[in-house]
Amino acid sequence: MKALIENAISAAVKTLQDENRLPAAITPQIQITRARDKAHGDFACNIAMMLAKPAAQAPRELAQAIIDALPANPQIHKVEIAGPGFINFYLKAGANLSVISTILETGDQYGRSNIGAGRKLQVEFVSANPTGPLHVGHGRGAAYGATVADLLEAIGFDVHREYYVNDAGRQMDILATSVWLRYLELSGRELPFPVNGYKGDYVWDIAATLHREHGDDYAHKTEKLFANIPADEPAGGDKETHIDALIARSKHVLGDNRYRYVFELALNTILDDIRDDLEKFGVVYDEWYSEMSLVDRGAVNVAVERLRNTEHVYEKNGALWFRSTDFGDEKDRVVQRDNGQMTYFASDIAYHADKLERGFEQVIDVWGADHHGYVPRVKAALQALGDDPQKRRREGADVDPFGRVCHPAAVAQGCRQGCSTVLLCDAQV
């Protein structure tokens, strides 16, 4: 019904322009809202107040002119002016049911349009770390992201559905080391399992696969593995230092090839499980994008170097920090730790830069509420890399991919600052 009223107002404005009663250059953004009080009708429009200044007319006078120019419509019972110039629409009883015949006539084409005009748009959603099975929270992201992608595709966008696989970095090394330690236990070795290791049953399952396929070929003496390893918690040590030392020792003892085999067995087992769960849920992706591919081709280093060359990073306490506060973030962010390792944030900078380089006019990240604080730093990094927010912003207002004016709560939380990367969070759900 909103579309019906919007079309009627558009026709009225066109009539007034043809009669030279409104400037021909005006291209108003018509906003139809539901009336809060049924006594004021079913829908309301503020078009007269929006056009009063360029039309050099009083809002109520212009509202009456628009009403007089409205084409006849059997679904509209009456139209009235309210307050400073609102136009209130009262629908006839049963008007909402008229859409049923249209739905039956158009079938699965109902609601489809070419608003998107084939513009390339990417939706990245779920993207859970492949360090364990999906949980119910990921299901929320899957349902929401898939629906957003389907709706955008239905209105004519060329939608690319993507899952970002975090298959590089420390958490994956913790997983691989955890699997190998469980394998050693299955091989009859006794060892203290690290506090910071992954302890789920799925880790045992992956270790059992390794043992079933290779017997004790990957087994080593635990004395050599744990020799001179810093203490763990709660034995007076630090769990982070302990697990990092175990990872380094595991790589050394196993060697590059065997460690990589354990790493990829863990990764592929969990990734296959994630893919299977999502397909059963009805979610299929166009691409599973590997973080490792960014690392292998040096894209992360290139992104950080670009920030360094433009003086958007600085060194402090042996680490490399991005000047995120220059772009409105609450504090600066580490992109390279004091041990030389790049952070997840550094990879995310490179990944989002890559998205824009692939030619997407707009990219949408569907994240959970726990990632809300991540929004400003990613936008800041993109601006620092030279992405022009105004270049990727639709004219006239902050709008979402559907062409709607943004919800005030979303704007207030910084989810619409004109950046090409639209970050959907709970504020917009």
Tally of domains within the chain:
1
In this predicted model, what pLDDT tens digit does every residue of 99-114 receive, in sequence order? 888 889 989 888 899 9
User: pLDDT averaged over the chain?
Assistant: 88
**Biggest CA pair distance of the chain:** 92
In this predicted model, what pLDDT tens digit does every residue of 27-72 receive, in sequence order? 888 999 998 888 888 999 999 999 999 899 999 999 999 999 999 9
In a domain, 65, yes or no: yes
In a domain, 30, yes or no: yes
Output the six-digit token pair for 67.
């009403």
In a domain, 88, yes or no: yes
In a domain, 78, yes or no: yes
In a domain, 180, yes or no: no
Report yes or no: 288 and 165 within 8 Å, Cβ to Cβ: yes
CB atoms within 10 A of CB 291: 24
Q: Looking at residues 134-152, what average pLDDT do you find?
A: 94
In a domain, 219, yes or no: no
Query: In CATH, what number is assigned to the domain containing residue 43?
Result: 3.30.1360.70
Confidence of residue 303 (pLDDT cuts 50, 70, 90): very high
Report yes or no: 376 and 201 within 8 Å, Cβ to Cβ: no
In this predicted model, what pLDDT tens digit does every residue of 331-368 receive, in sequence order? 999 999 998 889 999 999 999 999 989 999 899 999 88
CB atoms within 10 A of CB 398: 16
Half-sphere exposure of 104 (CA within 13 A, CB side): 5
What type of residue sits at position 394? R
pTM for the complete prediction? 0.76
Confidence of residue 98 (pLDDT cuts 50, 70, 90): confident
In a domain, 40, yes or no: yes
Domain membership of residue 62 as a residue range: 2-95
What type of residue sits at position 391? K
In a domain, 74, yes or no: yes
Confidence of residue 25 (pLDDT cuts 50, 70, 90): confident
